[in-house]
Amino acid sequence: MCSEAVPWRCHRSLIADALSVRGEEVRHIMSVIKADEHRLTPFAKVD
């Protein structure tokens, strides 16, 4: 966990991209009632 309120402004997006590419389900907890599904960042390179 980090203190950034939005995942795309910190290292979590890089970790989430790596996990997503490996087939893991990733969700970003935005509040007590909201968890958004991760989408690959536009600049992600997948080989």
Q: Which pLDDT belongs to residue 42?
A: 86
Rounded Cα gap, residues 16 and 13, in angstroms:
5
Q: Kindly tell me the burial class for residue 1, based on how many C-beta atoms sit within 10 Å of its own C-beta (0-12, 13-18, 19 or more).
A: exposed
Count: domains in the chain: 1
Rounded Cα gap, residues 16 and 39, in angstroms:
9
The answer to the question of residue 26 being in a domain is yes
Which range marks the domain in which residue 30 is found?
A: 7-37
DSSP β-ladder status, 27-29 and 35-37: antiparallel
Rounded Cα gap, residues 4 and 24, in angstroms:
22
pLDDT tens digits for range 1-47: 566 777 777 788 888 999 999 999 999 888 889 999 999 988 888 88
Cα-trace Rg, the chain:
11
The answer to the question of residue 1 being in a domain is no
